[in-house]
Amino acid sequence: MEDLLNDSSIYVLSCLRKRGYKTRPTLSKPKKVVGNNLVFKDAQKEDAAFILELRTDSKKATHLSKTSNDLKQQEVWLEKYSNDSGQVYFIIFNKQGEKVGTVRLYDITNDSFCWGSWILKNGTPSNYSIESALLVYHFALSLGFEKAHFDVRKGNESVWKFHERFGADKVEETTDDFIYNISLEAIEKSLEKYKKYLPNGFSIED
């Protein structure tokens, strides 16, 4: 049993949790997280141009940390990321194989994780935002996390209102940002509330 509890496989640890065993939350980079319309894949060096395209978009960049429009620099960052066990950076695809966005999980604090870098291409269907958030929470809960924390730019009203509808509590604010926490109870309530967006559930491929 000790060997199983120390196993790094998402599938093994998820099975143990379903049987009531307590495991230490840890981030893991699966091959895929598959939903209804969307698929999360671990970011690779060849995704650098797409990431830059999103992060340097004139409208979206107003709510993001400043990003240099330097392809080589982004490629170097992704190469370093590949060996970083402290975060998971996903490229979001639709089922047709088109890249439609990004999302990142990072900053483990006990049983809480932070998520951000959540960007969807202009013109994507409105249900993609709900489904991608559901996949983030389902994936995180499968890893043993029980809550989340994150910050949102005050000017990014549509996003902080979205999080509040999902049950996030505003706990603090800075000059530029609102700081949020969301509990396990609130996460599970929203997973149930919006389950129609994942009618067949989700799956993880290690």
**pLDDT digits 0-9 by tens, 24-83:** 788 999 999 999 999 999 999 999 999 999 998 877 767 777 777 899 999 999 999 999
Average pLDDT over residues 149-159: 95
The domain spans of the chain are: 29-198
Burial class of 10 by CB neighbour count within 10 A (0 to 12, 13 to 18, 19+): buried
Average pLDDT over residues 171-178: 96
Residue 4 has what pLDDT?
Answer: 44
CA dihedral 135, 137, 141, 146 (to 10 degrees): 180
Helix (H, G, I), strand (E, B) or coil at 40: strand
**pLDDT digits 0-9 by tens, 105-130:** 999 999 999 999 999 999 999 999 99
- Confidence check: pLDDT of 160 > 60: yes
Class (C level, CATH) for 29-198? alpha beta
